[in-house]
Structure 1
Amino acid sequence: MAPTQMRGKRYGEVLLVSVGPDGPQATVYNTFGLNDCPPELWSRLDAEVLAKDHGAAAALLNGPRYWLMDSIEKDMGTQPEVATFGGLDMLRQATVNLTSMNPAPYLPNTVNRNAVFVFEAGKPVFELLAPDGNRWVMQTWSQVVDAALAYDDLPGLAARLRLPEGWHYQPRTLDEELRIDTSSQAAQVLQDDLTNSYSLLAENT
């Protein structure tokens, strides 16, 4: 399965959280591929009701969001799991080991998503550069904190972010295709203080 022309497509997620001996873990359900997360349905979702209805310790609403990669390569299997939340159909996509029930910005979480994110040559990407040399590539921008945040705002985002000491934000245009391959290993994902999400660009990608 290789969804294409994804850049700028809107979606929303529900995370159902359970708590085990190793801390909180969330199962991630995503609207992409089934609907565009219509505002009239998304705005009515109640996290407490969803948690109770699905027997979860908590439910987290993550959206609306917009993809920044151009395509995703992912094996969904023959019968992907579909769940319905407040009238919104969603596909089960990943599990996340959360750093806490309310993860802080700029701290990575481990995501098991078994996917390859593909960014096309000639397209812009938006990155965080960490003091340890790690490079984080924005995979989605978010309207959770700023409901008006748009694609055209991303090149100038450095002026708005409250970056930790030594961190830098930069846009750049790709000279060649960029592939973030976490099909056979867990992804490391963090969010900035506007809840935009970034994937760690590992050396082997």
Structure 2
Amino acid sequence: MSDDMTTTTDVFGKRYGEVLLVRNGPSGPEATVYNTFPLNDCPAELWEKLDAEAIAADNGAVAALLNGPRYWLMNSIGKRGRETLERKTFGGIEMICQATVQMASMNPGPYNVNRVDRKAVFTFDAGREVYELVDPDGRAWVMQTWSQTVDPSLSLADLPGLAARLSLPAGWTFRARALTSPLVVDTATEDACVTQDDLANSYSLQT
């Protein structure tokens, strides 16, 4: 890891929310991602009042996407350059600019791939159960966050059985497995490849 890497531990299960400010970039739509973590836990009473159209207008964006509430599934997050990250407040919720996303489309559908410049290292500890998508090329994507955006009642206990609920594309499979050694997704120096299932749970391509 580089000298400017800051690691936050005990992340598993922590709640957060994101605001994505979308603009038209030279290669298509791109978003600047503001995240409540680790400043606050995305207070429900404030989050539910956020107005995406007003946020977009106030920030000169083509659109604003509200992404949450979500919950982390890794055990620790390493982040480069954390001390210099910009902060903004949306509807009384303070957030940090954590990443930029090259979006597959203005409103990406499930199982499309978005490229994320997040300068982060995610570590899932040995002994943990992880939830993975396997694509037609045999590549494994590990669930990094689970979401209550689509199903507000979705819980951690539901995740092992998601294969019965997901509308997986042809050739894709879902599995749960226990780690015998730590799983590290290191995208500190390269873009992360991230996709979502049809319940808006997010997965990172394992590197």
TM-score range, shorter chain: over 0.9
Q: SS of the counterpart of 2:132?
A: strand
- Between the aligned partners of 1:52 and 1:91, the Cα distance in structure 2 is 19
Aligned partner of 1:118 in structure 2 is 123
Equivalences for residues 56-95 of structure 1 within 5 A? 56-95=61-100
Aligned partner of 2:157 in structure 1 is 152
- Between the aligned partners of 1:63 and 1:145, the Cα distance in structure 2 is 9
Aligned length: 202
CA offsets per residue over residues 131-165 of structure 1, 9 Å max, x none?
11111000000000000100010000100000001
2:53 alignment partner, one of 35, 38, 48: 48
What is the TM-score normalised by the length of structure 2?
Answer: 0.96
Aligned partner of 2:3 in structure 1 is none
For residues 21 and 79 of structure 1, do their structure 2 counterparts lie closer, same or farther at Cα, with a shift above 3 Å needed?
closer
**1:79 CA drift (Å):** 3.1
Aligned partner of 2:40 in structure 1 is 35
Equivalences for residues 156-175 of structure 1 within 5 A? 156-175=161-180
Q: SS of the counterpart of 1:29?
A: strand
**1:78 CA drift (Å):** 2.9
Equivalences for residues 14-33 of structure 1 within 5 A? 14-33=19-38
Aligned partner of 1:181 in structure 2 is 186
For residues 77 and 67 of structure 1, do their structure 2 counterparts lie closer, same or farther at Cα, with a shift above 3 Å needed?
closer
Q: SS of the counterpart of 1:83?
A: strand
**1:87 CA drift (Å):** 0.3
- Between the aligned partners of 1:86 and 1:139, the Cα distance in structure 2 is 26
CA offsets per residue over residues 81-100 of structure 1, 9 Å max, x none?
11000000000000000011
- Between the aligned partners of 2:191 and 2:72, the Cα distance in structure 1 is 20
Flag as ranges the 4+ runs of structure 1 deviating above 4 A.
none
- Between the aligned partners of 2:81 and 2:45, the Cα distance in structure 1 is 28
Aligned partner of 1:109 in structure 2 is 114
Q: SS of the counterpart of 1:136?
A: strand
Q: SS of the counterpart of 2:7?
A: coil
Equivalent residue letter for 1:80: L
- Between the aligned partners of 1:66 and 1:20, the Cα distance in structure 2 is 29
Query: What percentage of aligned pairs have identical amino acids?
Result: 61
Listed as ranges, the gaps of 5+ residues in structure 1 are none
- Between the aligned partners of 2:175 and 2:83, the Cα distance in structure 1 is 40
Aligned partner of 1:5 in structure 2 is 10
What is the TM-score normalised by the length of structure 1?
Answer: 0.97
Equivalent residue letter for 2:113: P
Listed as ranges, the gaps of 5+ residues in structure 2 are 1-5
Q: SS of the counterpart of 2:151?
A: coil
